[in-house]
Amino acid sequence: MFDAECDLAALVYGHGDDPDIVLGNFAAALQARGVRVVGLVQRVRRCLDEHEIAATLVHSGAEIPLLQQLGRHAGGCRLDVGQLLQAGSAVSGALNEGADLLIINRFGRQESEGKGLTYLIEQALSADIPVVIAVPRFRFADWIRFAQGMSVRLSCDRHALDDWWRSVSRRYAAFDEVRPTVCEVFK
């Protein structure tokens, strides 16, 4: 699945970092320049004593809630895997329509177990579409095992992400350039 030529980046974050803001702003800036970005960016909103977590589909702006409703007196929250897979299905369809970049909101427990949205990473890389994913620092060892060591590690800041994208996009632009033939050069 992975090789030395793949363009796979882990945006590694720790306590105090906000990968959602970094990825969201990055996606918006690329889209403003005409880059076709597909994927998910997580959004967390605090309502009273509860958190609401949703994924925004960057290619459409649609939001999909990611937490199960456990009831009024529940003391915690749980990922709604069905909703996550529904979001993944929408991203998969968008990838099939063509993309320049895939963003995945998290390498979480589901993904570290080989489930969740890992199939999207495989789908994108098989189509030569670069991928960036937010990886919590405490799951980075799991990420390296998953990626078989074939990943770029980025700090959780926009500058690192922009530098990585410039490198990746230049590489792809070189393949897309129309180069003149020898005959055309000597005309």
pLDDT tens digits along 158-177 = 999 999 999 888 766 644 44
Q: What is the largest CA-CA distance in the chain?
A: 79
pLDDT confidence of residue 115: 79
pLDDT confidence of residue 132: 96
Entry field: residues in the chain: 187
The identity of residue 20, as a single letter, is D
CATH number attached to the domain at 8-177: 3.40.50.300
Predicted TM-score (pTM) above 0.85: no
pLDDT tens digits along 69-96 = 555 555 555 667 777 788 889 999 999 9
Instruction: Report, as ranges of residue numbers, the positions in the chain whose pLDDT lies below 50.
Output: 1-5, 47-49, 174-187
51: Cα within 13 Å, side-chain hemisphere: 12
pLDDT confidence of residue 75: 52
Q: Which residue ranges make up each domain of the chain?
A: 8-177
Give 137's DSSP letter. Answer: G
**Exposed, middle or buried, 30 (CB in 10 Å: 0-12/13-18/19+)?**
buried
